[in-house]
Structure 1
Amino acid sequence: MAESMGSSECNIGHVAKQLTQEEIEKMQAQNSRLVSEFQANELEKNTKKHWDLFYKRNDTRFFKDRHWTTREFHELLGLGAGNDRVVLLEVGCGVGNFLFPLIEDGLKFKIIFACDLSPKAVELTKKHLLYDPENMKIFQTDITTENCFHQVDCPVNITTLIFVLSAIHPKNFRKVVENLYNILDIGGIVLFRDYGLYDMAQLRFKPGHKISENLYMRQDGTRAYYFSEEEVSNLFESVGFKTLTCNYVQRRTINLKEKIDVPRIFVQGKFGKF
């Protein structure tokens, strides 16, 4: 399914939408049967395994290339247009759906680092025709751990964290953001996008999938967390970042073949280290 980028940003208080009575009842029903503590612990223990199975099953077919990122984050154009001094780090690279469209658009960087939890995702990214080992270092790591970026051997100017943090348990959010702060050079920025509170996907979860507040288990064993803009801003500021922008954005997921046209809610932000 492709994201339509024609809608405008929506920023209404601390939530992007007010729930209808039917939606309130759906979310109340989610609480009737929660994921057991044992199962939740197993999900945490086997996070890498579930993502590896995801990429082994879907190969490079699941996610669409993200050609929208330069429209949403103009910093990518400014920093990557003929500037051979800029170092980029993509956190949670998957199979390169963010990285390689940048290369196709002609953006150039001094060096590009990219990482993912899944060894299979890293393997698939390195098989891409545009992969260049001379100026790309792609590696497997767990960004919730100490010294997770030890393979990044120079200061980073721009880091992306796009639809990554939502797959991680909330207890590890702060550690991830601390790791990003430590790897960034002074004046560097993090470009963030992830699922927003009351997104359509959150409302569609049935009983038996909710782990804890705003955290859910998908059928394939991966997880999804839904953020408020205030929560994201507070998280980054708690480790020393300055919030440059942080807003809800409303988009639509459209698949004409399957006659799907549904509203989506994301949180998008830019955070600087000064």
Structure 2
Amino acid sequence: MERFQTDNTVSQKKQPRQQLSKAMEHMRFAVTVDPVPHATPSTPPIPDSIPPTDTKSPPETDAYGVPASYEPVRNPAARSHSPSNNQKRTDPFAFGSRYLEQGDDIFEFNAWDHVEVDPSYREFSEQQYEKQRADPVSDFDRKRFNDNPEKWWNTFYKNNRTNFFKNRKWLSQEFPVLDEVTKGNAPPATVLEVGAGAGNSAFPILQKNRNEGLRLHACDFSKKAVELIRGHELYDEKFIRADVWDVAASEDSENGGLPPGIEEGSVDVVLMIFIFSALNPKQWNQAVRNIWRVLKPGGQVLFRDYGRGDLAQVRFKKGRWMEENFYVRGDGTRVYFFEQKELERIWGGEEQGLDEESSPLFEVAHFGIDRRMLVNRQRRLKMYRCWMQAVFRKPGSASEVPTSTIRQDKDATETEET
């Protein structure tokens, strides 16, 4: 397509998109693919004949009618040429079943599951971390980014509004409990989303909801984000309420540090999608305490966030490193990249700084590391992504009477089967 100018009659052809953005040019060798790709297997060979999976009995209901279903829905893996179980061409596509095997063309699809990074990329990543540490954010910037984080998120949502994130239609597949609580015959349930943003998780849940007793509280510490949710065409206070709330609020703040309209021990499910990473590590303890306080015994925390080694971490250059695995983006928002054992310590109550007498001890009901390779056919790029996904469960059952302190609640459940 050409554009013509009348006076100087100069034709300007549309320039082709550059292969790499300026932010990624320094990692060209690690993310570009040779003209003739040679796939290497990331998993053991999968037999042509796959035995049927065991039939699972329906999940038992847990506290307050919330089903105790934790693991994501996964189809059995299959070879790309198996006519009996060709998961690589399933529609709609299901995460977790597309394996990259010997002989596969990596550009046949735009994403592959369970792909470990290659040695050259791993070596490059470690070199990047060393460079990031050697050139950290200035003390002045460190203070202004940490002192008023909601300011930067307000600016983010003012600039991007609702068009930045895609709707998360995959939530029910990754967290089956969301499918259960939205069924028409499900008992009443309260879902609290922390860090709801512009509603990209909340509204897909409401669109599939058939449960008249479902109540969804969408909270974010950005006033602008809450305004966007309240102004959405699907916002109906019969089912959803949006409020400003800082998950790391102290117990001395308004409403005892709890979200507006939420009482202690009243929530069945807490949804935390890419929100914990936005906190300063110094805020983790208080955030975990507040989540513990709002949950009923047996309640679940549905967690998904960035893992160490994700492309977003590797691509950071100078002036963004604040402390180990903790960075500030160009727009002033913060992000942390987690390890599995680190998250298990934080939510299991063993993180340093937590008092043994008041430690919330969540059960790690499920934990998975989502390692995915995304590819761009046109630019011949490979991008390694890494996300942490877990379900943390507050011990207890519906038969228990909620108690006023964390330690008492823990003691009351030590001898009970869960």
TM-score normalised by length of structure 2:
0.60
Point out the more displaced range, 133-142 or 206-215: 133-142
Match of 1:88 in 2: 191
Q: Which consecutive residues of structure 1, in runs of 5 or more, have no partner in the other structure?
A: none
Does the 8 Å contact 2:114/2:372 carry over to 1? no
- Identity, in percent, stands at 33
State how far apart, in whole Å, the 1-side matches of 2:285 and 2:348 are: 10
Does the 8 Å contact 1:247/1:268 carry over to 2? yes
Pairing of 1:1-274 with structure 2 (within 5 A): 5-6=95-96, 7=98, 10=114, 20-82=122-184, 83-108=186-211, 109-146=213-250, 147-153=257-263, 155-238=266-349, 239-253=360-374, 261-274=382-395
Deviation at 1:81, TM superposition (A): 1.3
- Which structure has the larger Rg? 2
Deviation at 1:204, TM superposition (A): 0.5
Q: Which amino acid is the alignment partner of residue 204 of structure 2?
A: P
Q: Which amino acid is the alignment partner of residue 135 of structure 1?
A: F
Deviations 1:26-63 (A, max 9, x none): 11111121112232121011201100000000010100
Deviation at 1:207, TM superposition (A): 1.6
State how far apart, in whole Å, the 2-side matches of 1:185 and 1:17 are: 44
Point out the more displaced range, 79-88 or 182-191: 79-88
Deviation at 1:131, TM superposition (A): 0.8
Deviations 1:44-93 (A, max 9, x none): 11201100000000010100000011111111112221224111000010
Deviation at 1:107, TM superposition (A): 4.7
The structure where strand makes up a greater share of residues is 1
State how far apart, in whole Å, the 2-side matches of 1:11 and 1:188 are: 32
SS of residue in 1 equivalent to 2:134: coil
- The change in CA–CA distance for 1:32 and 1:113 in structure 2 (over 3 A counts) is same
- The change in CA–CA distance for 1:263 and 1:32 in structure 2 (over 3 A counts) is same
Aligned residues: 269
Deviation at 1:256, TM superposition (A): 6.5
State how far apart, in whole Å, the 1-side matches of 2:269 and 2:363 are: 14
Does the 8 Å contact 1:4/1:251 carry over to 2? no
SS of residue in 2 equivalent to 1:244: strand
Deviations 1:73-132 (A, max 9, x none): 111112221224111000010011001111222353531111001111000111111111
Deviation at 1:257, TM superposition (A): 7.5
- The change in CA–CA distance for 1:256 and 1:67 in structure 2 (over 3 A counts) is farther
Q: Which has the higher contact order (CA 8 A, sep 6+)?
A: 1
State how far apart, in whole Å, the 2-side matches of 1:160 and 1:260 are: 33
State how far apart, in whole Å, the 2-side matches of 1:270 and 1:117 are: 23
State how far apart, in whole Å, the 2-side matches of 1:103 and 1:256 are: 35
State how far apart, in whole Å, the 1-side matches of 2:266 and 2:118 are: 39
Q: Which amino acid is the alignment partner of residue 243 of structure 1?
A: V
TM-score normalised by length of structure 1:
0.90
Q: Which amino acid is the alignment partner of residue 123 of structure 1?
A: E
State how far apart, in whole Å, the 2-side matches of 1:256 and 1:111 are: 43
- The change in CA–CA distance for 1:253 and 1:46 in structure 2 (over 3 A counts) is farther
State how far apart, in whole Å, the 2-side matches of 1:112 and 1:250 are: 30
Deviation at 1:185, TM superposition (A): 0.4
Q: Which consecutive residues of structure 2, in runs of 5 or more, have no partner in the other structure?
A: 1-92, 100-112, 251-256, 350-359, 396-418
